[in-house]
Structure 1
């Protein structure tokens, strides 16, 4: 299979970070082997950014498939123009891609471009806090969601602005390749692996990756990939090259959990997924590494799960 394409649609006076943040996420993910191809189009072959850096790009659109993503970064907009930020041809391209099963997304004022394309109507969306009232008035058939990082509704994904494009992109990597992939990309970029859009945080892999301690991340990498195996503390400490006491202290300080408790949470999450798809408690317990179902039943009885 060819890599999934991420196509950025560049608008004059775009904010560099609106573009560079998510572009770096997908580029880093590709470097780590997750298969993304990043490309850029605009209505002219040169676009001036709000920060004064000119960008060279392409006018011709590549062939897109349903698995591809089209993303519109935001632009400098204290007030939105009464005129559409993109022409009719690009608006039609956005509509066609979504209609064919593709995903479209925006950062900050990029939501206005999706609105002009008719893709916000009947859907929930978000944008930068300075623009929420204006866009709510402009698109009364859509529902604005305030004070969140991003909103996903029927393959139309909007984010709040500027750095939230990174959170949006990490979320999409997690959807495509799993929470561990998003955590690896975030660690490589030295950013927090946040996934807090308008939904509750669901993944322990990401929920406990919001730190910058390299040793703890290395231990998590081991546990994330081998959570179903028996991982004695002495073995983990030996892999990292520290004492068991040091490992426990550093890991607990960084994540709020002991290594064993973190592994149990990963096992519990996977077991709940299996049970939700028809597995028995006994088979789910064996699959995730418990010798029998008693420990799984005890963990499931904690409501909510204590972390």
Structure 2
């Protein structure tokens, strides 16, 4: 079970909340084990769109596997006043310090910045706010014109609908491409939007083609990326020769089957390392015999 806690500020943008909430709620319907909680400093939160939202005022007990998300609020210009009091800020800091993940949509990055969670990290936000946040948090590195960025369990996304992309990315990393694709299809969402090139889910990024053979082989690799997969075995599954498989797969995805598997392993390893595993433990978990190959891939 993974608890997803949405921390709501006044003048909340509904889609900043509803987009990622729908992703995780749909994942819950598919048995992915998400439990959603809505939290605010007051029992009723006014929204920018005029529909009030009811929320709890008591923080639940959280573990390192849980995610705290701060959706954005209406902010043509950021206020000098903090969106939350010190008690909520302390909770955000403590959750990350304990090994948990925190995320933001749009101006929600300002709340993370006020907690010091952006310092020394890369992050993004809505394009209208990048200059202001860059000036406000000089110890952090703003990444402009991308959909989302993940850095040491701090995941930030751009404005409004990009929260859906962020949430689908997190589902793909935790549960695989098939689960994320099911959620996206159920939501009638085009799932191929990239975030930051180095952080976006490889499982989604290379699924935008229309080649059935490549999709079938990707399904196998997605499920068994930690196993030793021989090209001959994949070719047998696809019903073609090794040479034909490599040609068709590369034309569809831009990668060879081996390179695609390596990307999946690398992405999962980065997720594990970000949650406190050593490089050696992460390498073993994703199927490398030792950490040398993982270190070489990370260095690239």
- Whether the TM-score (by the shorter chain) exceeds 0.5 is yes
| Separation in structure 2 between the aligned mates of residue 183 and residue 201 of structure 1, nearest angstrom | 18
| Separation in structure 1 between the aligned mates of residue 19 and residue 32 of structure 2, nearest angstrom | 17
Q: Per-residue CA shift, 1:39-70, capped at 9, x if unaligned?
A: 11000000011000011110001100001000
| Separation in structure 1 between the aligned mates of residue 218 and residue 194 of structure 2, nearest angstrom | 20
Confirm or deny that 1:162 pairs with 2:160. Answer: yes
Contact 2:150–2:199 (Cα < 8 Å) also in 1: no
Aligned residue number for residue 145 of structure 1: 143
Aligned residue number for residue 204 of structure 2: 206
- Alpha-carbon distance, 1:174 to partner: 1.4
DSSP-derived class of the 2:4 partner: strand
- Alpha-carbon distance, 1:258 to partner: 5.6
Structure 1 residues 201, 10: closer, same or farther in 2, change over 3 A?
closer
Aligned residue number for residue 35 of structure 1: 33
Mapping for residues 34-113 of structure 1, pairs under 5 Å? 34-113=32-111
| Separation in structure 2 between the aligned mates of residue 206 and residue 198 of structure 1, nearest angstrom | 13
| Separation in structure 1 between the aligned mates of residue 50 and residue 39 of structure 2, nearest angstrom | 19
Contact 2:12–2:71 (Cα < 8 Å) also in 1: yes
| Separation in structure 1 between the aligned mates of residue 193 and residue 129 of structure 2, nearest angstrom | 22
- Alpha-carbon distance, 1:179 to partner: 2.3
| Separation in structure 1 between the aligned mates of residue 188 and residue 257 of structure 2, nearest angstrom | 23
DSSP-derived class of the 2:36 partner: strand
| Separation in structure 2 between the aligned mates of residue 34 and residue 82 of structure 1, nearest angstrom | 39
TM score, norm. by length of structure 1 = 0.73
| Separation in structure 2 between the aligned mates of residue 260 and residue 134 of structure 1, nearest angstrom | 42
Contact 1:15–1:162 (Cα < 8 Å) also in 2: yes
Which ranges of structure 2 fall in alignment gaps of 5 or more residues? Answer: 222-233, 241-246, 266-282, 291-300
- Alpha-carbon distance, 1:270 to partner: 2.2
| Separation in structure 2 between the aligned mates of residue 107 and residue 41 of structure 1, nearest angstrom | 16
Q: Per-residue CA shift, 1:82-134, capped at 9, x if unaligned?
A: 11011101000000000000001100000011111111111111110100111
- Alpha-carbon distance, 1:276 to partner: 8.2
- Alpha-carbon distance, 1:184 to partner: 2.0
| Separation in structure 1 between the aligned mates of residue 79 and residue 184 of structure 2, nearest angstrom | 35
| Separation in structure 2 between the aligned mates of residue 204 and residue 105 of structure 1, nearest angstrom | 20
| Separation in structure 2 between the aligned mates of residue 51 and residue 219 of structure 1, nearest angstrom | 45
Give the root-mean-square deviation of aligned CA atoms: 2.8
Structure 1 residues 69, 217: closer, same or farther in 2, change over 3 A?
farther
Confirm or deny that 1:277 pairs with 2:288. Answer: yes
- Alpha-carbon distance, 1:173 to partner: 0.8
Contact 1:201–1:207 (Cα < 8 Å) also in 2: no
Aligned residue number for residue 246 of structure 1: none
How many residues are aligned here?
250
- Alpha-carbon distance, 1:204 to partner: 6.0
